[in-house]
Structure 1
Amino acid sequence: MLLQHVRRQSTSSRVLIAGGGPVGLTLGILLQHVYNVPVDIVERQMQPTQHPQAHFMNLRTMEILRTHMPVLHDRILDATAPPQQVRLSSCVSLHVVFALDLMAGMRFLLIAHDLANGEWVFQIPVFPLRDQPPQANFPPDRCIDLIRAAAGAPSLDVALHSVGAWKMTAQVAAQYADPNHQVFVVGDAAHQFPPAGGFGMNTGIQDAHNLAWKLAHHIHNPPSPINSSMSWLPTYGVERKAIASAMTRLSLRNFERTLRVPTALHVAATSSMGRHLKRRVHEIVSSRQALGMLFYNADIGYSYSTNASSLDTSDTALNQAHRFHVPSSRPFDDSIADSKGLCDKVDLVFTPQLQEGCRIPHQWLRKLHDDPTMHPPTNLWSTLDLPQRVLLTTPKNSGPNFVLVVQPATYAHLAATDGALPSYVAIVVLHPNNNMATPVDKNHPTLGHDAYVYTEATAVTAAAAILVRPDGHVARIWSQATDVSPASVHTAMSSGV
């Protein structure tokens, strides 16, 4: 998808988006319906593709949809297979008939096939001659013959619906924007990965999420001698190219690892090698060599900090990449979650950390008053919801908002400090539960704010102040209340992550 930002000699700007796939449509929705920036979308295809593409949506993409497109988010969840829970008891054995040594439980993905009843995706490596389309050597009759030969049934009745070709590449664009930051590449125009891990569309949607707020912020708050705010547009390519490069390495590594599974299964699964192959498949699954579809460090653990460590794609790391720490603390309202599904101790592999460049970690907060914008009204929110909650309570033409999360002492210090925060920085004050000793001044000329209450002390509540970007990533952390001032916030805004 190619994007061009057109500046006119007027108070408005339009954005032209070339490409109406999932990435282009996401960017268009974010710009026009979330940030009030008009867009035009052009698409060369006259109808949707008939072949499966981008059939996996990871955690971060679903979070973006939950925040900005909740109806689509719910429709996708409704269309997925329902979750299954095999064991409903609370982590204890209620009856014992006989005893064996218990093995530690593990989660894995089993890739299996059934020649009699299964459904197959039939793919053939193609090496076409130069300037010749791949389909030229595969007319319908030949495709049917190949399917019958693979099934071992010469008279098999085959209904061939369509034949498609795709090219596997691993590419990342050298530049994500032109020197003037008027034209940007996003999605497939910026990167293409092997289909091993489901990173293509997901990375593209996350590109759009990163670029949308920066472009909207630039349009609504253009840098000028009066407004010293930096343009965040140059950071788009820096941040997202690093992520695409990491996803390229991971997808290539995943592709290499997936080749071990068909090697073990072999096409002659019904031959005399069957028992050996079954044992080999068991070895692969038991050693966690099967390809998992969740990579938490890649999906939600990436950082935009220049000091972030590179993604580990070793077998050891990837075999452990699918386990996630479930916080033990309950939300304020126990009815929000089924207590049977929560465990106090979980083997930790990926645990969200409060770091500059990373997303702000999730923590349950209770708003001091019910939110009238929600139906039914609610007062329980995650820290991940704060930028969107602020956006919904500000004028539509003001563009995206940064959120300054502060403690009561920091708020009191700011109220006594000269200077004003930028108009697009909203304050959220976190109070300990049942402790409202610090007065809140909603009528202060520059410090209007929202107030939330927390029950668990964490790194988020220990920080004096946290500047959160519109996309939920942390721009700056202050450890001392006396270091937080309008000037220091302006400095943080002008230096990026």
Structure 2
Amino acid sequence: MDNVRTVETPVLIVGGGPVGLTASVLLARLGVPSLLVERRPGVTDHPRSRLINTRTVEVLRSCGLESAFEEISLPKAWRQQVIYTTSLAGKELGRVKTDAWAGDATLSPVLPLISSQDKMEPLLRECAEGLPGAELRFSTELIGLEQDERGVTATLLDHQAQRKEQLRTSYLIGADGAGSFVRRQLGLGWVGQTGIASLMNVYFLADLSPWIADRPAALYWVSSKGVTGVLAPLDGEERWVCQIGYNPEHESTGDFTPERCADWIRAAVGDASVPLNILSINPWTLSSVIAERLRRGRVFLVGDAAHQLPPTGGFGMNTGMQAMHNLAWKLAGVIQGWAAPRLLDTYELERVPVARYNSEKSLENFMLVARVNAAVMAQGAGETEVDDETRAAIRGARRYGNFIGMDLGFAYAQGAVVPDGSAPPKVADDVSRYIPTARPGHRAPHVPLVKDGREISSLDLFDFRFTLLTGANGSAWIEAGRKLAQARGLPLSAYRIGPYGELSDPAARFLDAYGLSSQGAVLVRPDGHVGWRSRLASTEPGPTLERALALLLGR
């Protein structure tokens, strides 16, 4: 091979979208050097993904990015409802309150956000480039990979220098999108439904305030016999995207010229004279699929390379970023030597059920919204009064925007978890209802605490380390945990919460929220999920913790 040079890195990340950039940030925060390669010359300029759900904002908070993302978010007043209408100027069909997009301060210290991918990626890129150990190369494409028992050999093409190079890496992360070269090189196909719908994503500028100033919403679903689709605000001012469906058997993407898209937008608004500026048009295909495997050997798939979810609910990017949160600490443990390689087997065990569930529920949302359109088409509700069938269809679609259970309630039934025999909380609807619990496998609950005179959330303690929490009388657990961490070289922090502890609990919520006595203890993983819990004291806290850690770390 001409002009080939060989370099080495512990982790190679392929793909510089939100999930790949998140991988770079998380690994750097964990002290793991990585190289990210992206074939595009820079970050995207098209606003694809919008929703950043509560759990993902919690991950961003742990990286110091919460405030930066809040600055690019759609104002809160716009995140509290979805409106169904015949057009912006036409008859309104109904509204659905969106509790999951409005947030709940009793459940999390953060609020969910709505922004756009073209604003998110530059923030993630800037963060990664400012962290030691994170290297990013754009205009660089993966063109070949081979793996053996010791690592992966990747062939890269630098498009700017027109130079090939071989890279040797311990692990490779494929975050290279729906058409993933990495997945195809692994010989992995899709499981699920592909080609459910074909759509054009259109980014445009327009002042639509004359029709919506008194009714801000996260989405405006338009249903009439003339036009069907959705208008989505990006900044509450003039930045918008819309989704236009089409039939690929009768139309091609080339048929959607800026003029035709502008005509569709004006029809959706209900005013043929509204000024607007089309900035970009991006075709895409709606699917609900998961890769046959999320791992093969030393290669892992994340994001759209691992799964494609319908956008109804906004779980695609979020599922990918949270999967990377799950994988990053496990890679760090194996690379740094404090965990066994078989810990990496738990990535698929834990994340496949989550991806499958999110995919199924997102597809249900899509079908429920389609019922609204079908009811309008069948009854002509836009031309007369809103009929009962349309009202019922809109009520039936209420999970779209009300999914706090999906967002915070998912749990790992097997993997890097030590069950304690307790049952999960019972909820009437696991999509829209959430009851916090510290049952092993679940996200550790948010509890307001005070540390060094400053108010914090319990979630702020889970900063890329294992965290051992006890009640006021749990000193034996704390001492045992610190000794084990020092002996094993394990990143672990330990805190007593309550009177005379390192943290105070002003509202006296900690023990109830975590299901502990004052002598009990809970061990939270670096990704904020509970790994192990003992409700009571132990006569042998050291050996008990050692056995738990051995199970959690694959030893």
TM-score after normalising by structure 2: 0.60
Report the equivalent of 1:45: 40
* Superposed counterparts of 1:100-179, under 5 Å: 109-112=82-85, 113-115=87-89, 117=211, 120=231, 121=242, 123-128=244-249, 134-139=252-257, 160-179=278-297
Count of residues paired in the alignment? 387
Is the Cα–Cα contact under 8 Å of residues 135 and 163 in structure 1 kept in the other structure? no
Deviations 1:79-136 (CA, angstroms, capped at 9, x unpaired)? 3344459xxxxxxxxxxxxxxxxxxxxx86333331474795351323259xxx9424
Q: Aligned to 1:203, what secondary structure does the other structure show?
A: helix
Higher relative contact order (CA 8 A, sep 6+): 2
Structure 2 residue aligned with 1:346: none
1:256 and 2:367 equivalent? yes
The reply to whether residue 60 of structure 1 matches residue 33 of structure 2 is no
1:26 matched to 2:80: no
Alignment-derived partner of residue 494 in structure 1: 550
1:362 and 1:384 in contact (8 A); partners too: yes
> In structure 2, how many angstroms separate the alpha carbons of the residues matched to 1:153 and 1:382?
48
Contact map agreement 2:462 2:527 (CA 8 A) in 1: yes
Give the 3 Å change call, closer, same or farther, for CA 464–427 of structure 1 in structure 2.
farther
Q: Give the structure 2 partner of residue 405 of structure 1.
A: 469
CA distance in 2, matches of 1:246, 1:259: 20
TM-score (norm 1): 0.67
Q: Which residue of 2 aligns with 1:458?
A: 512
8 Å contact from structure 1 (residues 429, 452) kept in 2? no
Shift of 1:26: 0.7
Tell me the alpha carbon deviations over residues 51-89 of structure 1, each in whole angstroms, 9 at most, x when there is no partner: 43111110011111111133xx2132233344459xxxx
1:270-326 superposed Cα distances (whole Å, 9 cap, x missing partner):
x9x5332376655555x353453241111111101238999999xx838xx44xxxx
Q: What is the aligned-residue RMSD (CA, Å)?
A: 3.9
Partner of 1:472: 528
Counterpart for residue 293 of structure 1: 401
1:242 CA drift (Å): 1.2
- CA 1:43–1:429: 2 relative to 1, 3 Å: closer
Counterparts of 1:208-219 in structure 2, within 5 Å, are 208-219=324-335
Residue 321 of structure 2: SS of its match in structure 1?
A: helix
In the alignment, the residues of structure 1 paired with residue 540 and residue 493 of structure 2 have an alpha-carbon distance, to the nearest angstrom, of 12
Match of 1:359 among 443, 452, 459: 443
1:343-422 correspondence to structure 2 within 5 Å: 349-367=433-451, 369-370=452-453, 378=454, 380-388=455-463, 400-412=464-476, 415=479, 420-421=484-485, 422=488
Q: 1: CA distance between counterparts of 2:401 and 2:473?
A: 44
Instruction: Within 5 Å, give how 1:330-341 maps onto structure 2.
Output: none
Deviations 1:310-356 (A, max 9, x none): 9999xx838xx44xxxxxxxxxxxxxxxxxxxxxxxxxx42201201
Q: Aligned in 2, Cα 1:489/1:267: closer, same or farther, shift over 3 Å? A: same
Q: 1:317 aligns with which of 429, 432, 438?
A: 429
1:407-441 deviations in whole A, cap 9, x for unaligned?
34432367589974433253533343xx43xxx8x
| 1:425 to 1:230, Cα distance in 2 relative to 1, 3 A | farther
User: Deviation per CA, 1:167-221, whole angstroms, max 9, x where unpaired?
Assistant: 1111111211123xx2111111110011111011111110111111111121122
Note closer, same or farther for the CA distance 1:58–1:275 as it changes in structure 2 (3 Å cut). same
**Letter matched to residue 20 of structure 2:** G
Structure 1 window deviating more from structure 2 (111-120 vs 38-47): it is 111-120
User: Does residue 352 of structure 2 align to residue 277 of structure 1?
Assistant: no
Determine if contact 1:210/1:236 at 8 Å carries over to the other structure: yes
Quick check: 1:230–1:494 contact (8 Å CA) kept in 2? no
Question: Take 1:418 and 1:214, find their aligned partners in 2: how far apart are those partners?
Answer: 21
Contact 2:478/2:494 (8 A) holds in 1: no
Structure-1 residue corresponding to 2:344: 233
* 1:293 counterpart SS class: coil
Deviations along 1:206-240, one digit per CA (max 9) or x if unpaired, are 011111111112112255xxxxx564211111111
- Alpha-carbon separation, structure 2, partners of 1:192 and 1:312: 29
> Is contact 2:481–2:494 with CA below 8 Å preserved after alignment?
no
Deviation string 1:223-273 (CA, Å, 9 cap, x unpaired) is: 5xxxxx56421111111111100111101111111112223444997x9x5
Letter in 2 for 1:211: L
Structure 2 residues not aligned, in runs of 5+: 1-5, 91-210, 213-219, 221-230, 232-241
Structure 1 Cα separation of the partners of residues 533 and 300 of structure 2: 30
Query: Would you say the 8 A contact 2:477–2:542 is kept in 1?
Result: no
Partner letter of residue 74 of structure 1?
Answer: S
Structure 1 gaps of 5+ residues are: 1-5, 86-106, 224-228, 323-348, 371-377, 389-399, 441-449
Cα 1:496–1:305 shift into 2, 3 Å: farther
CA distance in 2, matches of 1:418, 1:54: 42
Q: As a proportion of its length, which structure holds more strand?
A: 2
Partners of 1:149 and 1:267 in 2: how far apart? 20
Change (3 A) 1:425 1:281: same
Q: Quote the Cα distance in structure 1 between the aligned partners of 2:260 and 2:513.
A: 62
Task: Note if contact 2:312-2:365 (Cα within 8 Å) is conserved in structure 1.
Answer: yes
Distance (whole Å) between structure 2 residues aligned to residue 479 and residue 163 of structure 1 = 55
Query: Which deviations, in whole Å up to 9, do the C-alpha atoms of 1:15-44 show, x marking residues without a partner?
Result: 111100010001101111x11211111111
Do the aligned partners of residues 425 and 486 (structure 1) sit closer, same or farther apart at CA in structure 2, a change above 3 Å counting? farther
- Check 1:382–1:48 CA distance in 2 against 1; reply closer, same or farther (3 A cut): closer
Match of 1:245 among 319, 342, 356: 356
The answer to whether the 8 A contact 1:430-1:453 is kept is no
Corresponding letter in the other structure for 1:114: L
2:363 partner SS = helix
Distance 1:213 1:417 in 2: 19
| Cα separation, partners in 2 of 1:135 and 1:24, compared to 1, 3 Å | same
Q: Higher Cα Rg: structure 1 or 2?
A: 1
